[in-house]
Chains A and B, each alone.
Chain A
Amino acid sequence: MTRDDAAYRIMAHMIPFFPDYDASVQVASALIDGGASYLEIQFPYSDPTADGPAIQGACATALDRGFTVSEGWRFVRDLTARTPVPVFVMSYAGLVYAHEVQRFVKTAADAGVSGLIVPDLPVDSDEGLFAAAADAGVHAVPVIAMGAGESRLRLIESVGAEYVYASLRRGTTGSHTEIGPENSAFVDRLARSGARVLAGFGIATREQVRAVLDHAHAAVVGSAFVRAIGENPTAPADPVRRLCARLSGIG
Chain B
Amino acid sequence: MNSGFFGAFGGRYVAEVLRGPLDELDLAFQEASRDATFWEEFHRIGAEYVGRPTPLLFAENSTRELGGARLYIKLEGLANTGAHKINNAVGQALLARRMGKHRIIAETGAGQHGLATAAICAKLGLECTVYMGEVDINRQRPNVYLMEVFGATVVPVASGSRTLKDAVNEALRDWAGSYDTTHYIIGSALGPSPYPDMVREFQSVIGQEVVRQLSEREVTPTAMVACVGGGSNAIGFFAPYLEREAPRLIGVEAGGRGPEPGQHAARLNGLGRTGIVQGYKSLFLLDDDGQVSHTHSVSAGLDYPGVGPQLAWLGEQGRIEFRTATDEQALEAVQFFARNEGVVFALESAHGGYQAMQLARSLSSNDAVVVNMSGRGDKDLFITARELMPETWHEFLVSEATSIAASLEEGRSR
Q: Please report A residues at the B interface, Cβ cutoff 8 Å.
A: 45-53, 56-57, 60, 63, 68-69, 93-95, 97-99, 119-122, 124-125, 127, 142-149, 152, 156, 167, 169-172
Query: How many angstroms from the CA of A232 to the CA of B309 in the assembled complex?
Result: 44
- Tell me whether B15 and A49 are in contact (CB under 8 A): yes
Contact across chains for B15 and A50 when beta carbons are under 8 A apart:
yes
A125 touches B292 (CB 8 A): no
Q: In terms of DSSP, what is the predominant structure of the interface of chain A?
A: loop
A170→B176 contact, CB < 8 A: yes
Minimum CB–CB distance for B366 against chain A, Å:
47
Known: A94-B292, A125-B1. A149 touches B20 (CB 8 A): yes
Chain A residues positioned under 8 Å from B153 (CB to CB): none
Chain B residues with CB under 8 Å of chain A are: 1, 11-17, 19-20, 23, 159-160, 165-166, 169, 172-173, 176-179, 273, 275-279, 281, 286, 289-292
> How far, in Å, is A145 (CB) from chain B's closest CB?
4
* B15 x A120 contact (CB < 8 A): yes
Cβ contact within 8 Å between A172 and B176: yes
Given A49-B172, A49-B173, A171-B176, A122-B15 contact (CB < 8 Å)? yes
Instruction: Name which of B15, B275, B286 has the most chain A CB atoms within 10 A of its CB.
Output: B15
> Closest residue to A48 on the B side, CB-wise?
B169
- Please list 6 pairs of residues, one from A and one from B, whose beta carbons are closer than 8 Å in the complex, sorted by A's number: A50-B173, A53-B159, A95-B290, A98-B289, A127-B276, A149-B20
Main secondary structure of the interface of B (DSSP, over half): mixed
**Given the complex of chains A and B, what is the CA–CA distance between A172 and B175 in angstroms?**
10
Bound: A156/B14 CA distance, A: 14
Please name the residue on chain B nearest to A100 by beta carbon: B290
Contact status of A121 and B17, CB under 8 A, knowing A49-B173, A69-B289, A170-B176: no
- Cβ contact of B16, chosen from A63, A68, A99, A144, cutoff 8 A: A144
Contacts of A142 in B (CB 8 A): 16
Contact present for A171 and B290 (CB under 8 Å): no
The answer to whether A56 and B19 touch across the interface, beta carbons within 8 angstroms, is no
Q: Known A93-B276, A119-B15, A167-B17; judge A60-B290 contact (CB<8 A).
A: no
CB pair A145 B15 closer than 8 Å? yes
The listed residue (B13, B16, B275) touching A143 by CB distance below 8 A is B16
Contacts of A170 in B (CB 8 A): 17, 176-179
Contact B290 A99 (CB under 8 A): yes
Residues of chain A within 8 A (CB-CB) of B179 are 170
Q: Return chain A residues, CB-CB under 8 Å to B290.
A: 69, 94-95, 97-99
In contact, B291 and A45 (Cβ under 8 angstroms): yes
Partner of A120, one of B1, B13, B20, B292: B13
Instruction: Identify the 10 closest CB pairs spanning chains A and B, nearest first.
Output: A98-B290, A171-B177, A145-B17, A119-B15, A46-B291, A93-B276, A46-B292, A97-B276, A170-B177, A49-B172
Closest to A149 in B: B20
Contact check: which of B12, B13, B178, B278 meets A47 at CB < 8 Å?
B278
Set of chain B residues within 8 Å of A152, measured between Cβ atoms: 16, 19-20
Give the distance to chain B from A235, nearest Cβ to Cβ, in Å: 27
B residues in contact with A93, CB < 8 Å: 13, 276
